[in-house]
Structure 1
Amino acid sequence: MTVRRSPLHSIISDMKEKFREMELELVQLREVHGAVQKTDPTPVEEDYRKEIAMLKEEFQELKNQKEEYNKQLSVIREELRELREDRRKTSENGKQLPALKEQLTQTGEEQQSLEQTPPPTTTAINPGSAPPPDSNSQTQPQSVLLMDSNGKFVDEKKLFPRRNVTKIWCPNTQKALELLCEEQLASPSHIIIHTGTNDLRAQQERVDTALVNVAEKASSNFPNSKIILSTLLLCSDFHPDTIRHINARVARDCALKPNVYLAQHPTLNLNSLYDHVVFIFAKTLKDTTAPAHCSNPVDTP
């Protein structure tokens, strides 16, 4: 008895047969491919390989150049940073030049004014010379004015016309400390001090301490003299509150010193006319030196 094969079985059998044939062909292709790889490359393939090698070398060179350029860029950036820093410092120095120029101009004007000031009617004291002999007490000044540039237009002869008065240029508190001794001033009955404005730029609000030190030395070295310490005038270079705070601290610290008197200038401000400033400034100094109610005034107008 024969078994009849179904069409499905026939198809499966055919497919298996075809798969076996395909496997054989694949094995043959692999063998052929392996044999081709073992053979020498063709001239075209050799050219391709050379071009690829050259491209690799060029790429490496470009990579090296990039690293070199990055190093140079870092150096340039550092130089640019240093140039900007130098430019900033130069700009800051340039901003300070006008102030220094103004200060030098003011100092030159003060020196020129000092040189052009006519000598007083009596013998003036040279700060660097020895004191006059005691036997000739008439030549010793009765009143001494230590003044910075704010006092250069104060006429000491009109201020105290009946007294032997000497005005000495005193640009800062350090100079005042150097002058406040008998070797320089002899033994005056009145010492009027106005200085400290030129110390503001360097010392700022510490000027009050410098002025108090001046008052203390004057009071200690001249206990029998009347010391008149003039407070600072307002100026356009510094805020008015800074000047007022300094003056307030000076007034507080000098309040208990027995022979120190303050000449304050509350009515003078930045809007005052210059002639008015000179007049009020001088009048305040005179009134503080010889109050109107005093039974023995220094001078009468």
Structure 2
Amino acid sequence: MTSNFIDYVKINLRSGKGGSGSMHFRREKHVPKGGPDGGDGGRGGHIYLVGNAQHWTLLHLKYQKHIIADNGKGGEGGRRTGAQGEDVYIEVPLGTIVRDAETNEQIAEVTSAGEKVLLLPGGRGGLGNQHFKSSTNQAPRHAQPGEPGQDIWVVMELKVLADVGLVGFPNAGKSTLLSVMSAAKPEIADYPFTTLVPQLGVVEYRDYKSFIMADIPGIIEGAAEGKGLGTRFLRHIERNSILCFVIPADAEDWGKTYKILLKELKKHNPDLADKQKIIVISKMDLSIPEMEAEIRASLPKKLPVQFISAIKQEGIQELKDVIWKTLN
């Protein structure tokens, strides 16, 4: 497994097989010896990959082991062609790569919204006996069977690292927040990143949607000694991603803490200052509700501020809502 992907699913894909052609002769009251009129079979269903900017992870495919397209229907007399098998469209986040599970060869990649890639074509329908009529063979008694569909195991990988990065001093409550946010089944993985180990979690949102959140240690701590390599990790946050500044409610000066964090970020990588930002005031269980107004007053007016207590699970769904709205 490569070190820079978070999401990975293995799925069996089967395109539909083509319908068989019909072996049929025209038989009507006044046409006792009508010619061959067997119709062709319909083609089997194709399987397509479609880019969808509303998806952030492959979580929605995690529990689908097999994706099977419909078979084409057989042809009928009267030169009627069989119906085509229905096509299947697999929606995936942008940046998804599909490989053959056996050869590891890359089959497809989706990079833009609405992009449609044919992964597996369905089998062609067989020809009916009407096609085999000739001057020497007026009554052909054979029709073609449909082509079989294709069957393949594929691996889908998402190369995007994170949509939301948590920034804050040590003990601001970032890890706790991440474990609570992705509590459904926290897919928190250790990523060996130079000397740092960012933690990644898939956060489940409403209606099977999800996004990826990263706790990025080391951006701030030891930054002066040149240890702040977490910023390299942040370069991977490419899509319209967000930085969540986590500031504990018991900090001495909330506004000042935010400014220091922002200054450190800019020092290492000025581009980071342009990312969308959300301020999260953690550990609200340690403060009194009346302090909210005072905390808000000390912070930049134009940024969304969300108050939470990870321990009491308060404000978590609201934070997910704010993040989802900002992501989209």
TM-score where L is the length of structure 1: 0.31
Larger relative strand fraction: 2
Higher relative contact order (CA 8 A, sep 6+): 2
Which entry has the higher C-alpha Rg, 1 or 2?
A: 1
Comparing both structures, which one devotes a greater share of its residues to helix?
1
